[in-house]
Structure 1
Amino acid sequence: MTLRRVNVVILILLAVAFLIIVQRNLLNLSDFLHKESPDAGMVLPFEAELSLDQVQDMERKGEEIPVLITATEDRLGAVIAAMNSVYQNSKANVVFTIVTMNDTTDHLRMWLSQTKLKNVKHKVIIFNQELLSGKIPKDLKTTETSKPLAFARFYLPLFIPEAEKAIYLDDDIIVQGDIQELFEANLKPGHAAAFSEDCDSASSKGIVRGAGNQNNYIGFLDFKKESIKKLGMRANTCSFNPGVIIANLTEWRNQNITQQLEHWMERNTQEDLYSKTLAESVTTPPLLIVFYKRHSSIDPLWHVRHLGTTGAGNRYSPQFVKAAKLLHWNGHYKPWGRASSFSDVWDKWFIPDPTGKFHPVRRHSD
């Protein structure tokens, strides 16, 4: 009888020991799976059946990051490259608003639907040129920066009515960092927008062909005009580049920023307020007036500029360009053109046009 009891006790102890070993193994397995989660690149067995697109959709859930970009027919390849660089370098839930004209929509939709950008969240909006009626001088030269779409950034709340915050990007840019970092940058209380100061970094040394060093207000506005004098602005104040904008759309609406910009556009048609040496963006002067000392600053690495001007190749090292989070080819020389610095960086993100209408032009193609 005593022997039986001993045997029962031994069996119970063995069973307990077995359960303890099993529990420890399960805990170790759980810890292993936690450390080697999908975020670290491991695909778990139950995820193996999911398609790549489904995994991307899962990764991109969360707060939407609205990004507005404009698309003209002759620069559509630039838009595609910019969007691709944003999308591929971030897992954020980016939603593009593409503002364009009627003659571009079919080409744009085909380019997106037939390439690896087919899963990118986007909406296409046709720009209503009536918005600019009476606000642009009739004799204004038809340059890239004076075409109607250049003024789309003035109407951010109109194009993205549901958002509290948004990013505007020019088309001649490549984003190498995670766009969520830019989106989460803090704006000072009461500021409706953040821009890159033209005195913030090596980018400020850019030379605008035919106009000298335009990194202050006098390079864009005529300080001899009474309307400009009355504003009390200092002519040597650093200007900013509106090719990248972080916009607090709530403040933008509350302060009637769009209406203020339109006011100064109309005043210019009557009084010719822009500097006579102005050689680049005609959209910049109204922004400089409205946002004078009332804007936040963007991290310089998030807007490395003047890659499209002469001498940029000598000014920036390949190491610096690689470290930059956003590159901007503002200036005359575009990376899809015949002469441009670091066009090979842009080429990495360009997706060939399935229709064959757009293709980069290089010297060796002559």
Structure 2
Amino acid sequence: MRLRFPMKSAVLAFAIFLVFIPLFSVGIRMIPGRLTAVSATVGNGFDLGSFVEAPEYRNGKECVSQSLNRENFVSSCDASLVHVAMTLDSEYLRGSIAAVHSMLRHASCPENVFFHLIAAEFDPASPRVLSQLVRSTFPSLNFKVYIFREDTVINLISSSIRQALENPLNYARNYLGDILDPCVDRVIYLDSDIIVVDDITKLWNTSLTGSRIIGAPEYCHANFTKYFTSGFWSDPALPGFFSGRKPCYFNTGVMVMDLVRWREGNYREKLETWMQIQKKKRIYDLGSLPPFLLVFAGNVEAIDHRWNQHGLGGDNVRGSCRSLHKGPVSLLHWSGKGKPWVRLDEKRPCPLDHLWEPYDLYEHKIERAKDQSLFGFSSLSELTEDSSFF
């Protein structure tokens, strides 16, 4: 007999699991954060809002790191650490903070994670202000902020199906080999609209076999042709670039990357070449994704789908609600138009947005929570009346 669980019950059960799982993670010691808030308002009046200081997640005795044995100095070059790269900007700051919080909360050795945060040179909030806010929210976080010069790519960007996809910072992943310190040989790249509900070390331990440069969950059942225009497929030469490969769609919001091979193979230039072709002849509509498909599809290390439950933001036009894919979940990804913090603030959340909420450190959400029901239930009686939960 198959049991069917209503969406609200499934979300509540999963949310309870997420809240309590850190208590059983080996190696973590959690010290509650202070009930103070940090905020920033930049010179042009742009308010970043206030964030509550995160709990302090410390390594247990089972965790070992060479850096941590040297007077608590942590180097961005330490290959024994887990290296995570993300963008950091004023618009998606709340998502980035929640993503970092989720990784620390579920990491087996949180002090062994190093964050490489990439901020745009001309963000309304300067990289310096963003860095200060991250430090205030996570006082013991191992991180470094890099400045991305938007003029590096701005003349290569074509119009997209959604304006947000034209943001130059979306293309920072193309330049990781140049932006990050040359000593960084390997990195996990993650979008800012994700939360990780598993130990990030498991993803870090992915082996890139053969000559593969990147690893990512692949979706070979997806209609690969739709990611390119009819002009691409009707061209006498362009489709031939997939010759000898079996290309599958993959989402670039979660990638394990070998930066040594990336730099040696000049993959930045390969991606730029396709962007230049796009400027002359429109061959795709979806921002920064298609060049990655053109260069890597068919030669990607396949990672378990649990590491990118993507599409939770709905499509690129309506941003409608989506449900989880079948199977276990280690990472939830709100790719698409809808973002959980926006929908929660507007009091029109999708059921799965409540799974993101426990990691949100934005101060104002605490006041909002007082007026809202637990995980979307209007009352405790509604929860208990849902007998299928028990």
TM-score (norm 1): 0.70
The whole-number CA distance in structure 2 between the counterparts of 1:241 and 1:359 is 35
**What is residue 218 of structure 1 aligned with on the other side?**
225
Q: Deviations over 1:126-146 (max 9, x none)?
A: 210121143123x55772222
Q: Among 63, 68, 73, which residue is 2:85 paired with?
A: 68
Go from structure 1 to structure 2 and tell me whether the alpha carbon gap of 1:362 and 1:344 turns closer, same or farther (over 3 Å shift): farther
Go from structure 1 to structure 2 and tell me whether the alpha carbon gap of 1:190 and 1:155 turns closer, same or farther (over 3 Å shift): same
Query: Quick check: 1:113 aligned with 2:123?
Result: no
CA contact (8 A) 1:217 1:288 kept: no
Query: Quick check: 1:283 aligned with 2:264?
Result: no
Shift of 1:238: 2.6
User: What amino acid maps onto 2:334 in structure 1?
Assistant: W
Go from structure 1 to structure 2 and tell me whether the alpha carbon gap of 1:64 and 1:136 turns closer, same or farther (over 3 Å shift): same
SS of residue paired to 1:242: coil
Query: Quick check: 1:347 aligned with 2:357?
Result: yes
The whole-number CA distance in structure 2 between the counterparts of 1:352 and 1:60 is 32
User: What amino acid maps onto 2:113 in structure 1?
Assistant: V
**What is residue 252 of structure 2 aligned with on the other side?**
242
Go from structure 1 to structure 2 and tell me whether the alpha carbon gap of 1:114 and 1:292 turns closer, same or farther (over 3 Å shift): closer
The whole-number CA distance in structure 2 between the counterparts of 1:82 and 1:244 is 12
**What is residue 150 of structure 1 aligned with on the other side?**
170
Shift of 1:56: 3.8
The whole-number CA distance in structure 1 between the counterparts of 2:281 and 2:175 is 23
Query: Quick check: 1:100 aligned with 2:119?
Result: yes
Q: Deviations over 1:19-78 (max 9, x none)?
A: xxxxxxxxxxxxxxxxxxxx7889xxxxxxxxx969549746241222110122121100
Shift of 1:235: 11
Query: Quick check: 1:260 aligned with 2:270?
Result: yes
CA contact (8 A) 2:194 2:332 kept: yes
Count of residues paired in the alignment: 290
Unmatched tracts of structure 1, length 5 or more? 1-38, 43-51, 205-214
The whole-number CA distance in structure 1 between the counterparts of 2:89 and 2:141 is 19
CA contact (8 A) 1:337 1:360 kept: no
The whole-number CA distance in structure 2 between the counterparts of 1:358 and 1:263 is 47
**What is residue 89 of structure 1 aligned with on the other side?**
106
Shift of 1:227: 4.2
CA contact (8 A) 2:28 2:60 kept: no
User: What amino acid maps onto 2:239 in structure 1?
Assistant: K
**What is residue 21 of structure 1 aligned with on the other side?**
none
Unmatched tracts of structure 2, length 5 or more? 1-25, 30-54, 67-79, 315-319, 344-348, 374-390
**What is residue 299 of structure 1 aligned with on the other side?**
304
Which protein has the bigger helix share? 1
User: What amino acid maps onto 1:130 in structure 2?
Assistant: D
CA contact (8 A) 1:337 1:362 kept: no
Shift of 1:299: 1.1
Go from structure 1 to structure 2 and tell me whether the alpha carbon gap of 1:268 and 1:352 turns closer, same or farther (over 3 Å shift): same
The whole-number CA distance in structure 2 between the counterparts of 1:185 and 1:60 is 20
User: What amino acid maps onto 1:97 in structure 2?
Assistant: H
CA contact (8 A) 1:308 1:341 kept: no
The whole-number CA distance in structure 2 between the counterparts of 1:286 and 1:230 is 15
The whole-number CA distance in structure 2 between the counterparts of 1:129 and 1:226 is 34
Go from structure 1 to structure 2 and tell me whether the alpha carbon gap of 1:360 and 1:249 turns closer, same or farther (over 3 Å shift): farther
Between 295-304 and 140-149, the greater mean CA deviation after superposition: 140-149
Moved over 3 A (4+): 39-42, 52-60, 139-142, 232-237, 356-365
The whole-number CA distance in structure 1 between the counterparts of 2:371 and 2:164 is 22
